[in-house]
Amino acid sequence: MDALEAWVSSTALAGGAAWASGINLYGTIAMLGLGHTFGFVTLPPEMQWLAGPGILVAACILYGIEFIVDKVPGADSVWDAIHTFIRIPAAGMIAGAATGDAGWLMEAAAALGGGGLAAVAHATKAGGRAAINTSPEPFSNWTASVTEDVVVFGGLWAALHNPWLFLGLLAVFLLFAAWLLPRVWRLLASIFGFIGRLFGGGRTAPEAVPPGTEPSSGPAPGMGPH
């Protein structure tokens, strides 16, 4: 493998792991760890802790919990809010490890870039779910949850086996996120603004009138009957 191909493969692995972790951290760890355990992929030595028995058991259990919670309207958004503080740093750590022995500077850059990429993926998922939850029926949540899992596992497969394809798809995703996120936030802002006005949050108190300046209901001086 020449230097360019090695760099592309490492970048795709770091980017794929970070992006997928921003959407489904536990599914990402389970797929990478099990794939290495059963010989479907070979992870760099710095990433092989993902295949540790304790890590795999914990990831599979938590993935099972998330698989259920992710399909319950409202509960999925609470889960996403909590995992804002888990997915992003974990994604940065995994992305940094994916660079192998490229040196601490490359590892730090990959960790920062991976954390940023995971933040975009997480915000896209969490914002989309919050918008979906404005609809009372649960079927859209189920569809979104299953679609996310398929996209995560498919994206990881591409990152591992066809890095050029994955990097192209990642560029498309980033363009899509740049288009989608402002619209989602505007929608959520309008919904919360409506709720605030509905419960009186948008009312403003009438301005106080200084004493002695109240309008008089009687005739002005000098205008009475003669």
Give residue 219's pLDDT.
Answer: 56
Closest alpha carbon to 188 in 143, 133, 119: 133
Quote the mean pLDDT of the chain. Answer: 87
Range 193-215 average pLDDT: 62
Structure tokens of 23?
């959407």
Cβ-contact 60, 25 below 8 angstroms: no
In the predicted model, is pLDDT for residue 210 greater than 80? no
CA distance 131 to 38: 39
* pTM beyond cutoff 0.85: no
Cβ-contact 122, 84 below 8 angstroms: yes
In the predicted model, is pLDDT for residue 162 greater than 80? yes
Share of the chain above pLDDT 90, in %: 65
From residue 44, how far is each of 99, 117, 162, 187 by CA, in Å? Answer: 8, 21, 17, 42
**Of 206 and 149, the one with more pLDDT:** 149
CA distance 22 to 96: 15
Cβ neighbour number for residue 197 with a 10 Å cutoff: 11
Range 14-18 average pLDDT: 96
Give the pLDDT band of residue 220 (cuts 50, 70, 90): low
CA distance 193 to 202: 8
* Per-residue buried b or exposed e for 167-186, using 16+ beta carbons within 10 Å of the residue's own CB: bebbeebeeebeeeeeebee
Give residue 225's pLDDT.
Answer: 53
From residue 218, how far is each of 208, 209, 224 by CA, in Å? Answer: 22, 18, 9
Which residues, other chains included, contact 101 with Cβ-Cβ below 8 Å and sequence gap of 6+?
Answer: 44, 45, 46
Which residue type, as a one-letter code, is found at position 7?
W
Q: Write the pLDDT tens digit of every residue in 65-101.
A: 999 999 999 899 999 999 999 999 999 999 999 987 7
In the predicted model, is pLDDT for residue 115 greater than 80? yes
Cβ neighbour number for residue 195 with a 10 Å cutoff: 11
Give the pLDDT band of residue 201 (cuts 50, 70, 90): low
Range 154-165 average pLDDT: 96
Q: Which residue has the tokens 């259990």?
A: 61
In the predicted model, is pLDDT for residue 217 greater than 60? no
Give residue 163's pLDDT.
Answer: 96
